[in-house]
A and B are shown apart, each in its own frame.
Chain A
Amino acid sequence: MRKLSFSMATCEAMAEEMALDDKIFVMGEDLARQGGIFGQFKGLPEKFPGRVIDTPISETFIIGGGVGAALAGARPVVDMHFADFIGVCMDEIFNQMAKVRYMFGGQAKVPLVLRAPDGMTIQGAAQHSQAVEAWFCHIPGIQVVAPSNPEDAKAVLKAAIRSDNPVIYFENKILYKETAMVPEIADEVPYTIGKAKVRREGKDVTIVSYSIGMKNALGAAERLAKEGIEAEVIDLISLSPWDKEAVLTSVKKTHRLCIAHEAVKQGGFGAEIAATVAEEAIEYLDAPILRYGAPFCPIPFAPTLEKMVRVFPEDLVKGIKGMFE
């Protein structure tokens, strides 16, 4: 165990896996010289000469090329610079990456990891702040993960790299600087994609979140504890597939559900969680499901406006206390 930042934890995961398998390579913009714009690839170019490749600003190639490389037997990890740019290569993700294996009846496999730094920083404005994970949960053929802390960052990335499926790895830009104790992981399977973790046990209400949203979930749980409400906090970690059972089990225990994410509320992944519970465990609920997400507008630049699109622990606290009135 030693203290590592989220971004260093991802570097470590990459380095360990690349050392184990020389079919793994990294491709993206600004990697070789700068180690990624958030330092999330630092040291790799030196450690693995020739296996960290600077691409032009050609996202359709970064993904499409990654898919082709995977089809040819390599194991690419590609970087999307900002998740906001993912729309630029949506076709390569949706029509190629996600479908080739299925369309071709299992002849192909696409062991590719797409690293996508997402979320709001400070005044990043409309095109550098988005959380778009929900789109990809609607796409059969890819897996979607979004870890919330350095330890998971490493374990989940290792699992993603070892997976023979295409995985989109959302890494929140604010979380990069978070530090925490991270264990050296030996060679055993570090994490099983699709499994959630109960971060905090509780009996009164279930709070479900992932990625940066966990700050709100845990923050709210602490405040609620002071008022005698014991919240159970579930970190989904993986969104597609997602750990339905973990959520249902918890809700059947607590009878209350609160969901929070940074992404726009309408059409967000929170809706999938709420809808699933409404269909499979509604008879256990003692209160309406609460869902928190950004209001329905792009991320504005001005600080006064930007504050309005963020979700804060206080919002959850207020809503959850309402469940008990």
Chain B
Amino acid sequence: MKVSKEQALKFYETMCLIREFETSVKHDFLNGEIPGFVHLYIGEEAVATGICAALDDTDYIESTHRGHGHCIAKGADIDRMMAEIFGKKTGLCKGKGGSMHIADFSVGMLGANGVVGGGYNLAAGAALANKMILKNDRVSVVFFGDGASNRGTFHEAANVSSAWKLPTIFVNEMNQWASTTPYETTTAVKDISDRAKGYHMPAVIADGKNVFEVYAAAVEAVERARAGEGPTFIECKTFRVEGHFVGDPELYRTREYVKENAALNDPLTWFDRTMTRKNGYIDGVIEPQELEAVRAAAKEKIVKAKEFAMSSEYPDPDQYTADLYL
């Protein structure tokens, strides 16, 4: 499908923001400014971007431990995201959640999840509430990796979503690595989307580096969901460029292997290459300097976000029991 040049540039901006955000986080983690667990989305930017571009603010997403990209793509405030990752009181979760539990309910981002496969049922439940109880046309998206596709929670959520034609969209980020395990050693199928057949659920495979292809799949799935026709399974073939978490020595794969696959699957270089020539996605082309301008602006934003985070206070100690019960 074709989109306007503005839309294409919007995609690019989001992807650059994610890339810059993650690059900055990685840097700050490695020099000890950010503690805890941090999982980076580098290389998978086109997935969150393409999917979330097809959603409204009132739609929901359930994210994963690798959630910064989803959060940014859904439109969360980047300053407050960064502050949360630093554990500051100005963070989206007032410093209680951190990277792995980042959330912004104001834009329908129902949270990253420290439990692999913890998001399916929450997303299906939100879909159930919206369709069957609150009677609106909001849709829920759940992102999950190839590793998480082996959790029983997937099975239970997929079955009910299909049985009740819930507006749940299952977005599989097939990045080929379940933390340190190559997916094929523990997963019985080549295309995880084959599992959709077991629930009478339509499925589509998208090239995870091609934001347009992901977007097109998402638009179709969202239409189907809003029309009451039930869930869709979108498998995005992508690649996890970084280790499972920042600091992962990656003993389980070689540098060469990573370099090669990163190059093959990088959504930003693909975008640069494709948009600067005549292509089937927009009318005309995007000039290199236009792209450069977007990249520069993104860098700028992230620098500001970090300054905001650094200059923010830690939460007041007396806040440690707050936000538990009402």
Contacts and interface: CB of A to CB of B under 8 A. Distances in A.
Q: Do chains A and B touch in the complex (CB under 8 A)?
A: yes
Interface of A: 22-23, 25, 27, 50-51, 53, 55-56, 58, 60-61, 63-74, 76, 91-92, 95-96, 100-109, 140-141, 143, 163-165
Contacts of B105: 71, 104, 107-108
B322 A63 contact: no
Interface string B111-145: 10111001011111111111011100010100000
Given A50-B132, A103-B93, A105-B97, 6 more contacts: A58-B156, A61-B159, A65-B128, A68-B129, A74-B134, A141-B324
Contact of A102 (B110, B121, B323): B323
A143 B325 CA distance: 9
B153 interface: yes
A23 B133 contact: yes
B163 interface: yes
A165 B128 contact: no
22 contacts: A53-B132, A56-B156, A56-B163, A58-B155, A61-B157, A64-B122, A65-B157, A68-B121, A68-B140, A71-B125, A72-B129, A72-B134, A96-B122, A104-B93, A104-B96, A104-B101, A104-B103, A106-B322, A107-B92, A107-B103, A108-B111, A165-B326
Interface pairs A-B: 7 shortest CB-CB? A64-B121, A68-B125, A106-B323, A65-B125, A105-B93, A105-B94, A68-B122
Contact of B159 (A51, A53, A58, A69): A58
B111 A100 contact: yes
A106 B89 CA distance: 12
Given A73-B129, A104-B111, A107-B93, A64 B323 contact: no
B159 A104 contact: no
Contacts of B94: 105-106
Interface in B206-244: none
B309 to A, nearest CB: 15
Which of B95, B120, B128, B132 has its CB near the most chain A CB atoms (within 10 A)?
B128
A58 B160 contact: yes
Contacts of A60: 121, 152-153, 156
A63 B121 contact: yes
Given A23-B134, A102-B96, A105-B94, A71 B115 contact: no
A91 B115 contact: yes
Contacts of A27: 128
B81 to A, nearest CB: 13
A71 B118 contact: no
A293 to B, nearest CB: 28
B92 A65 contact: no
Contacts of B93: 103-105, 107
A102 B92 CA distance: 12
A300 B152 CA distance: 30
Contacts of A63: 121
Which of A23, A68, A76, A91 has its CB near the most chain B CB atoms (within 10 A)?
A68
Contacts of A140: 324
B85 to A, nearest CB: 13
Contacts of B69: none
B128 A68 contact: yes
Contacts of B21: none
A84 to B, nearest CB: 18
User: How many B residues are at the interface, by size bracket?
Assistant: 35 or more
Interface of B: 60, 62, 91-97, 101, 103-106, 110-111, 113-115, 118, 120-130, 132-134, 138, 140, 152-153, 155-157, 159-160, 163, 322-326
A55 B95 CA distance: 37
Contacts of A74: 129, 133-134
A61 B121 contact: yes
Which of B113, B127, B153, B325 has its CB near the most chain A CB atoms (within 10 A)?
B325
A31 B97 CA distance: 37
A96 B101 CA distance: 11
B121 A67 contact: yes
B156 A61 contact: yes
Nearest to A63: B121
B194 to A, nearest CB: 21
A95 B118 contact: yes
B125 A103 contact: no
B323 A72 contact: no
B323 A69 contact: no
A105 B118 contact: no
A68 B126 contact: yes
A63 B111 CA distance: 17
A64 B132 contact: no
A69 B324 contact: no
Which of B122, B123, B156, B159 has its CB near the most chain A CB atoms (within 10 A)?
B122
Contacts of B130: 72
Nearest to B152: A60
B67 to A, nearest CB: 12
Contacts of A109: 326
B7 to A, nearest CB: 28
